[in-house]
Amino acid sequence: MIPRLPILAMLAAGSAVAAAPEAHTGPPEFLLQLTLLLGVSALAAYTSFRLRLIPIIGFLLAGVLAGPGALGLIRDPELITAASEVGVMLLLFTIGIEFSLERLGRIARLIFLGGGLQVGLTIAAVTGALLAFGVGAQNAVFTGCLIALSSTAIVMRVLGERGETNARTGQVSLGILIFQDLAVVLMVLLIPMLAGQGGGMGGVLLALAKAAGIIAFVLIAARRLVPPVMEVVARTCSAEIFLLTVVALCFGTASLTALAGVSLALGAFLAGLLVSESRYGAQAMGEILPLQILFSAAFFLSVGLQLDLRFLVGNLGLVLGAALLIAVLKVVVTFVSVRLLGERTRTALPVAFGLAQVGEFSFVLAVSGTALGLSFAGLGERGSGVFIAATVLLMAFTPALSSLAGVLTARLPSPLPVPGDASPSAAPDGDAPPLGLPVAGRVVFAGYGAHARLAARALSRAGKPYSVITRSPDGASELQGRGAPVLIADYTRAGLLRELDIASASALVIADDDTEMTGRAVSVARSVAPDLTIITQATTSEGFHGLQALGAQHILSPKKEVVAGILDLITPPEVTRADIARHLADHPPVTLSATQQAKCDHAEHNAGPVTPEADVCLECVALGDTWVHLRVCMTCGHVGCCDSSKNRHATRHAHAQKHPIIKSAEPREDWAYCYEHGWTA
């Protein structure tokens, strides 16, 4: 069994090697091992793709072949183990982001009743069977604890690959898996007691109380502390600060729960729940997903590394028998547990087959129990080898077992619809749009600048539905105030666009003022949806040709024609050009009069025309405040509240950005003011 090395200690060891004089003669050893890890992972992923296999299988087999029992390419398993711990944390973190506290509350019955039945019945069945064959009670209960757990990482990955994470099957599976992670806390305390050590029931109760206190603190923080922090970070509009904050939140929460004896994975799941309670879950998912993919590969590789091929060949019959018995027992027990919850067979069958493997946390329990003299199924020294080999085989065959469940489920008779049926097998979120943003048949705006605002309001008047993806908290607040569908996220992430099914949109309008961001968004959108209508803008001939090469069909230029061009392309035929002109006339560009321009030299570069960014004070909307009058900045089009208002956002903006001239944005008012010279005209 691979010894576990704390991540910080591993990094410190790597630093020490790098600082040593001999390190300058070549790359440090940990870097070579890390390079091998990345290379093997990439090769395994490519091979799985070519063979049409789920990447999990490729990573497991690559770990077996690259490990010390075969080719011996990776000789530093501690590094892989440390990386795999991070992989499990990040995987559970992303799952937590997808589940809000409200949704988790809806599956509380699945967690405590369903999970309790599955874990309790499994331990009881294994213990009873082993006692009947003369195995000691301590080893029998120990083996039951090992077998009761399933792999959260693998099950959720398989469900994600099949698009079933939010289906009823996924919800029931997740509920049971969460309870198993909670049960690990008790099992870690129980194993020393089985070996005649530990602090007795008093110690167990104290540890459980401490764990419950930490979890309660985390859940309170989800409501009170994290959303305001995420708001402050998001307003910096810095991807670096946002990513660092999200990762720190994930690792910090996991470390805090680990101090209370709760698993790192469960702590990371709770951290994901914290983020899900803010408006920035989708953005956090997009930022963290590349890291999660990288470290999850390390986890699956680490599982494969633990299989000794020589032991497997020498004990093939025993290992296969153990794997078959474990799979059959878990399928039967889990099926019965889910049926006792009142779920239909069509739900219970795929859940039972999906949870038929043994989990990654069983490895942790196995190490602890073996060190205290316990053994798997009372097999003594051979027990560890049999357990590891059977577990790796079951993990590798999990996708196949899930496919078998799908075949068997398809042969079941379809249930007859019952009027008013409110059975628990009905998926509560089955009809909800992905990430809560409706896309199919709609115009989708990627970015919500001044041109997008005008075009979106014109669509509203024409009765044509639209949705918005933006990185701006203020823009999102404005849209939420209007009741318009909006998602705060990075629209240059391919995974996000796939999950939203952006190909089903009627058109994608990329209205970002950042040229580089526009190019990335066009390229990613075209790769995800080759036939999607993409409308964007360019201010130079080079930009026009660059966007055209990336796949944008409609590139609007110059800037003053952008809004009209967008509306021409996406409004229904009954909306005439005259209708569009009337709408734009309601929001004309703002300029200074000749008299105002003559007042001072500031007006030379601040005379407009500028398009007001909104007809509200976005900063007041974000704060939930009201205003008295509105002013527009003649340099950039910012709209803020006047000095008679509570927040004086127009003046604050002028001083912070050194934009000297504002003009009244109120109807029937045409005066302007220069802050530096103090004139009004």
The two most distant CA atoms of the chain are separated, in Å, by: 102
- pLDDT tens, residue by residue, 35-58: 877 788 788 888 887 877 777 778
Q: How far is CA 412 from the centre of its chain?
A: 34
Query: Where do the domains of the chain lie, and which CATH numbers do they carry?
Result: 7-13+26-408 (1.20.1530.20), 434-586 (3.40.50.720), 594-674 (3.30.40.10)
**pLDDT for 425 beyond 50:** no
What is the pLDDT, as a whole number, of residue 665? 85
* pLDDT for 421 beyond 50: no
Give 487's strand partners: 469
Q: State the average pLDDT over residues 307-326.
A: 90
The 10s digit of each residue's pLDDT in 91-109 is 778 777 766 667 677 788 8
Which of 130-139, 355-364, 419-428 shows the lowest per-residue confidence on average (mean pLDDT)?
419-428
Strand partners, 632: 639, 663
Whether 310 shows a pLDDT value over 60: the answer reads yes
Return the pLDDT at 562: 62
Arithmetic mean of pLDDT, 419-433: 44
Assess whether pLDDT exceeds 90 at residue 280: no
Query: Alpha helices of 501-561 — where are they, by DSSP H?
Result: 515-528, 541-550
Q: What is the pLDDT of residues 385-404, one digit of tens each?
A: 899 899 988 988 888 898 89
Cα–Cα distance, 419 to 430 (Å, whole number):
18
Task: Report the distance separating Cα 280 and Cα 287, nearest Å.
Answer: 11
DSSP alpha helix (H) spans, 24-114: 29-50, 55-66, 77-98, 101-106, 108-109
The pLDDT-based confidence of 552 (bands split at 50, 70, 90) is confident
What contacts 157, CB < 8 A, 6 or more positions away?
A: 54, 56, 91, 296
In the chain, the percentage of residues whose pLDDT exceeds 70 is 82
Structure confidence at residue 123 (pLDDT): 94
How many other CB atoms sit within 10 Å of the CB of residue 581?
11
Lowest mean pLDDT among 99-103, 228-232, 253-257, 404-408: 99-103
Residue-level pLDDT at 17: 43
Provide the CA 361 distance to its chain's centre, in angstroms.
Answer: 22
Q: How confident is the model at residue 349 (pLDDT cuts 50, 70, 90)?
A: very high
What was the pLDDT predicted at 585? 56
Average the pLDDT over 271-279 and give the result. Answer: 77
Question: Does position 596 have pLDDT exceeding 80, yes or no?
Answer: yes
The whole-model pTM stands at 0.61
pLDDT in tens, 81-91: 777 777 777 77
Residues ≥6 apart with Cβ < 8 Å to 80? 2, 33, 37, 74, 298, 301, 302, 305
Is the per-residue pLDDT at 384 higher than 90? no
Give 184-209 pLDDT, tens digit per residue: 767 877 887 887 765 566 666 776 67
Per the prediction, the chain carries an average pLDDT of 78
Q: Calculate Rg over the CA atoms of the chain.
A: 30
Q: Which of 24-28, 255-259, 393-397, 411-415 has the lowest mean pLDDT?
A: 24-28
Q: How confident is the model at residue 19 (pLDDT cuts 50, 70, 90)?
A: very low
**Residue that wins the pLDDT comparison between 595 and 335:** 335
List the helix and strand counts (H, then E) for the chain: 31, 10
* Cα angle 668-648-239, degrees, rounded to a multiple of 5: 110
pLDDT band at 127 (very low <50, low <70, confident <90, very high): very high
Find the mean pLDDT for residues 324-332.
95
Q: Please write the tens of the pLDDT for every residue from 630-676.
A: 899 888 778 889 998 889 999 999 988 888 889 988 877 889 998 88
Whether 263 has a pLDDT exceeding 50, the answer reads yes
Lowest average pLDDT, out of 51-60, 166-175, 246-255, goes to: 51-60
- If one compares 577 and 487, the residue with the highest pLDDT of the two is 487
As a whole number of angstroms, the distance between CA 358 and CA 338 comes to 18
Confidence of residue 328 (pLDDT cuts 50, 70, 90): very high
At residue 452 the predicted structure's pLDDT band, cuts being 50, 70 and 90, is: confident
CA 218 to chain centre: 19
